[in-house]
Amino acid sequence: MNNADAEGIRLQKVLSQAGIASRRNAEDLISRGKVKVNGELARLGQRVQPTDVIHVSGKRIVTDVDTVYFAINKPRGIVSTMEDDEGRPSLAEFTKGIDQRVFHVGRLDTDSEGLLLLTNDGELANRIMHPSHGLPKVYRAQVSGIMDRATWNKLLAGVELEDGPAKADKLKIIDEHAGQSLIEITIHEGRKHIVRRLMDEVGHHVSRLVRTEIGPVKLRNLKPGTIRRLSPNEIGELFREVGL
């Protein structure tokens, strides 16, 4: 290790490389007390190591260029694994342009579509999936029938499934047409087929299910089968919501 490696890299250069701000603006952030290193206010000219934890305006930033975070819009019919023993189409078909070896955070069943996160950050992935953090997930579901107020209230109050109670945190009717409803449902847990089972329990079978949000990350206009990098702000918000 040479002396430069031992001393670390100037903090403003690290912030610039992370896409947070130009070096000049990074110096301004440091001067205004917006940057912390390992919980302590940063100093101008301070050097940092890759193991240091850096927060800017209360949000953690990623300084390791080999740690990556992506959103993918999983198409219907794709298995939520990086490879499949039965030879079915998997997520690996859409990650060939990523240099690092990534894994998916959570799952979507084969018939469901929408937002999945991909990363090689095991600590963040474990936090996101742990039930104690209750990261909200938003889905759009095409369901049979027109939902009445009693069913609406029942979903919000909770119903008993074979593996325990479940409930919707929020509900919104998007459209009603030809005996079907398009609803938006927010739920904070990740049990297998939880949205489908919840809706079946109240008599509204799901014919299409699309996940549109995971915590602060939104699907937006990402096309099916395509991937985008998460922004530094999205990564910081994810860290904040799971206590990192």
Task: Fill in the DSSP letter of residue 90.
Answer: B
* Contact predicate 59/239, CB 8 Å: yes
Strand partners, 183: 141, 173
Q: Is 109 a catalytic residue?
A: yes
Q: How far apart are CA 141 and CA 175, in angstroms?
A: 11
Q: How far apart are CA 183 and CA 197, in angstroms?
A: 15
Of 28, 52, 84, 109, the active-site residue reads: 109
Task: Please count the other Cβ atoms lying within 10 Å of the Cβ belonging to residue 134.
Answer: 15
* Contact predicate 54/36, CB 8 Å: yes
* 110's tokens: 């084969």
Closest by CA position to 116, among listed 146, 137, 93: 137
Catalytic residues: 109
